[in-house]
């Protein structure tokens, strides 16, 4: 797979050593289809080419996926309506498995199959596509490298799966969707997430360095196989993209399969078999230098994005002024103490402050109710809202001690006084209290072993 090495480049006269080898008809047809399908997918699927913007990604508008799909969206909508009888649209939800993307892939598949058929008829006398294959494999290798680096930096700077929030610690395990289980599982161990990210970054870098492309393909194949299996088994809505990244690995690996088989059987491997786009040592060197610069450009962009996301998630302004899990010790309404009855839907069990402008109330039946929270630290005033237009409570607050909070004001139209004590979250086994124990006398699964 050493696309940019002198030993795998062709002779200095510009004549390809393999250009005289004929491809069998099945190989020619498969190449035509792959060229059209994966080429169109990489161009029209949002996210594939946008990686090459590097640091400029920060300047893109929030609705850039819609802008990217605008040229193909009319055709995709027509296919969805005509073929599948449904009206598809691009929703800004972050899901990569929306119906519009599946219809886009179906449309690409039909175009590629039709195009490959016409190409075969019109170009039936052509016996090989070595030069074109070299450029095609270079293009999809760059696309794959961009995605590997992007996902790698999102984990190496652990912002993709963040540490479980305070409200998450109060949520019953059975209430989590499979994807939430996966995200929280990885987020609990930032070191594990960082190691996963380093492996993906290494795969992306090896794909772009001279003499290491094959190693990069193999490492990317293993990483993407794991990611695709996790997406399928935990219902993560990136199945479509991860499957295509896995396919790109297999396409890049295909020319080198005879050499890998030779290694496994102990036979001589010979030079790299991947078709080459470059014909002289000078172009090989220039291409190698360009890809090294591309590594720096992509890494700089993703490092900048990752650092910005990290500051947003973990900086001084990322936590609420009243950060913590607060347990209600006394709840008074209209001057009367309200007992902690599980049937009382209006009494609180806990109040959680995690991110700015947000709060979560845990009711006596353990239901969690997210709220908007406006905290005025100067006036010691807390305003809670169920939505931007609906005010739930207007409360003054005092903190007699750092771990005690007293709220006094009106809640749901009634006067209340609520006293709360802060929970030491570091004593919860899922947080930092437990740590690593190399010597353990018991399995210590926690309170409940499933």
Q: Which of 51, 39, 24 is nearest to 302 (CA)?
A: 51
Same domain, 97 and 231: yes
- The whole domain housing 67 covers 25-314
Helices (H), 123-162: 130-156
**Please, how many CA atoms are within 13 Å of residue 423, restricted to the half-sphere of its CB?**
21
Mention every residue, 6+ apart, whose C-beta is less than 8 A from residue 411: 333, 384, 392, 393, 395, 418
Q: Look up the CATH number of the domain holding residue 405.
A: 2.40.128.270
Which residues are CB-neighbours of 135 under 8 A, at least 6 positions away? 277
* SS3 at position 401: strand
* 221 shares its domain with 291: yes
Using only C-alpha atoms, the chain has a radius of gyration, in whole angstroms, of 28
How many domains does the structure of the chain reveal? 2
HSE-CB at 313 with a 13 A cutoff on CA atoms is 17
Q: Is 433 within a domain?
A: no
Contact call for residues 296 and 303 (beta carbons, < 8 A): no
Whether 334 and 391 map to the same domain: the answer is yes
Last residue of a domain, one of 314, 343, 368: 314
Phi then psi for 8, rounded to 5 degrees? Answer: -95, -5
CA distance 159 to 303: 11
From first to last of its 450 residues, what are the pLDDT tens digits of the chain? Answer: 333 343 344 343 444 445 557 899 999 999 999 999 999 999 999 999 999 999 998 888 888 888 999 999 999 999 999 999 999 999 988 899 999 999 999 999 999 999 999 999 999 889 999 999 999 999 999 999 999 999 999 999 999 999 999 999 999 999 999 999 999 999 999 999 999 999 999 999 999 998 899 999 999 999 999 999 999 999 999 999 999 999 999 999 999 888 888 878 877 677 777 888 988 899 999 999 999 999 999 999 999 999 999 988 887 778 899 999 999 999 999 999 999 999 998 899 999 999 999 999 999 999 999 999 999 999 999 999 999 899 999 999 999 999 999 999 999 999 999 999 999 988 887 776 556 777 877 766 555 433
Give first-to-last CA distance, the chain, whole Å.
47
Assess if residue 127 is contained within a domain.
Answer: yes
56 and 162 together in one domain: yes
Collapse the DSSP code of 427 into the 3-class scheme (helix H, G, I; strand E, B; otherwise coil) and give the result: helix
Q: State pTM to two decimals.
A: 0.87
């Amino acid at each position: 797979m050493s696309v940019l090495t002198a030993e795998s480049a062709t002779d200095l006269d510009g004549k390809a050593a393999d250009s005289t080898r004929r491809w069998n008809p099945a190989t020619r047809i498969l190449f035509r289809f792959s060229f059209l399908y994966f080429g169109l997918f990489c161009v029209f699927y949002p996210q594939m080419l946008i990686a090459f913007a590097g640091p400029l990604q920060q300047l893109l508008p929030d609705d850039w996926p819609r802008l990217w799909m605008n040229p193909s969206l009319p055709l995709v909508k027509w296919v969805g309506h005509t073929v599948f009888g449904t009206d598809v649209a691009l929703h800004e939800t972050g899901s990569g498995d929306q119906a519009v993307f599946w219809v886009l892939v179906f449309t690409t598949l039909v175009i590629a199959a039709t195009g490959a058929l016409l190409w075969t008829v019109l170009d039936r006398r052509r016996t090989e596509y070595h030069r074109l294959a070299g450029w095609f494999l270079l293009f999809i290798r760059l696309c794959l490298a961009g995605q590997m680096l992007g996902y790698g930096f999102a984990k190496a700077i652990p912002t993709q799966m963040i540490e479980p929030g305070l409200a998450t610690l109060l949520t019953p395990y059975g209430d989590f969707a499979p994807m939430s289980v996966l995200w929280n599982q990885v987020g609990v161990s930032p070191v594990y997430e960082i190691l996963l990210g380093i492996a993906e970054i290494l795969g992306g870098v090896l794909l772009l360095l001279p003499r290491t492309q094959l190693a990069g393909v193999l490492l990317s194949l293993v990483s993407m196989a794991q990611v695709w299996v996790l997406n399928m088994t935990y219902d993560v809505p990136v199945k479509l993209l991860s499957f295509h990244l896995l396919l790109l690995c297999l396409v890049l690996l295909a020319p080198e399969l005879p050499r890998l088989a030779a290694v496994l059987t102990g036979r001589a491997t010979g030079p790299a078999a991947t078709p080459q786009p470059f014909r002289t040592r000078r172009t090989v060197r220039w291409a190698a230098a360009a890809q090294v610069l591309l590594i720096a450009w992509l890494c700089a962009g993703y490092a900048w994005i990752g650092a910005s996301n990290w500051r947003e998630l973990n900086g001084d302004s990322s936590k609420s002024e009243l950060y913590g899990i607060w347990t209600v010790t006394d709840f008074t309404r209209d001057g009367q103490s309200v007992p902690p009855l599980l049937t009382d839907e209006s009494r609180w069990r806990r109040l959680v402050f995690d991110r700015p402008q947000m709060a979560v109330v845990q009711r006596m039946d353990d239901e969690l109710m997210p709220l908007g929270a406006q905290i005025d630290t100067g006036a010691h005033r807390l305003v809670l809202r169920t939505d931007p237009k609906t005010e739930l409570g207007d409360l003054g607050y005092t903190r007699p001690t750092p771990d005690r909070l007293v709220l006094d004001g009106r809640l749901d139209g009634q006067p209340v006084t609520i006293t709360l004590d802060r929970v030491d979250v570091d004593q919860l086994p899922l947080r930092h209290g437990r740590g690593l124990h190399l010597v353990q006398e018991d399995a210590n699964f926690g309170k409940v072993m499933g």
